[in-house]
A and B are shown apart, each in its own frame.
Chain A
């Protein structure tokens, strides 16, 4: 095993800049996709628990469809196939005029994919709320919308904060797939540095350390949120 170490390469302005820019794209893709995932995932997750058969079937179909196709395939379909499948005008716009096509596509693909996972957490959260609460609320004369608004959602959203932490971490890791459609996020930049300088070890180490730091930050933020939103006396831990 012979390898020439050169850690200083990481701090040359050019390559350091690449890493920072890659980090910026990774965070942007992940956070934007997370917003989509939360909104769509909550709607779909709630939809699966509704008494309306049509709505719940459609929402189940959404989850099964997006969960059972690899994210990479979905990314390629959004990027290469969808512009060919939509009406010609829209397709031309997507290929030529859409701002930041790689970024937008990556955010949409990652967001809708993660939404299917968020939806499962939301549904599980709603289903763990004891059935009696729902019955009691209905007996009070609340409409379905009111039962969700005042009883089920406030409890379930607080219950699912811990499992959502791991989904939040996953969205950062999965944002690396954006490199397959040409977005130079963190993993892509580290690989590019490895190719330019032949200092693969240093380049991948830098990316690894940054991902670990992202994971640590995300975990800290989520555990603060968890402490804030914990329902006293509800979980098995201390009140």
Chain B
């Protein structure tokens, strides 16, 4: 422990920064995609159209029963097969994350949609709004706002989950750290530094969520 080498961390900072950018980009795109798909799944589940609701419930429960690593393996195999050509590791991983996170976001949005009082939907109908108008102008904006703290928390979890692209050697922060760790033989420094970076980002995120919650409660 005496020979902790800060030099190797400083030297590899540009390489790690590239990795972190990939982690953040993947997180950002997967949140957007997961949220859109998740909201559609939640709407489908609450639509009252039986086959649609069953399909959405089946999808969500299936995804929630399997590990993310297996989902990543699935899409790494399925996406090129379905498209007939390889589209690169990043897009396969992105699709896997969107499909995976959509299941979790859909559960959050479902709770959010149900938190909006039924009377408002009826009032919307009474004023002559159609289904999509009611969702667009009345239900979803409120559902979304009520759920912001949980959505952000899920975003933090998603950021941590992106480290799993390690299993398909995509160069995120985790994979970059482990590449340096192996080539330089500096396992302790690199893994502790990666842990520190993840911790600082996720802990700041959770402090932010706590502030949101107190602000919303008052």
Contacts and interface: CB of A to CB of B under 8 A. Distances in A.
Interface string B154-189: 001000110110110000001000100100000110
Given A68-B206, A73-B194, A1 B82 contact: yes
Interface stretch (A36-44, A148-156, A201-209, A226-234): A201-209
A135 B35 CA distance: 44
B84 interface: yes
Given A69-B160, A76-B191, A180-B167, 5 more contacts: A70-B160, A177-B67, A179-B167, A201-B77, A212-B62
Interface of A: 1, 3, 64-65, 67-74, 76-77, 80-81, 84-85, 169, 173-177, 179-180, 187, 190-191, 194, 200-201, 204, 207-208, 211-212, 214-215
B202 interface: yes
Contacts of B82: 1
Contacts of A80: 181, 187-188, 191
Contacts, number: 108
Interface residues of B, number: 36
Interface of B: 1, 62, 64-70, 73-74, 77, 81-82, 84, 156, 160-161, 163-164, 166-167, 174, 178, 181, 187-188, 191-192, 194-195, 198-199, 202-203, 206
Given A69-B198, A200-B77, A177 B66 contact: no
Contacts of B66: 173, 207-208, 211-212
Contacts of B195: 69, 73-74, 77
A70 B163 CA distance: 7
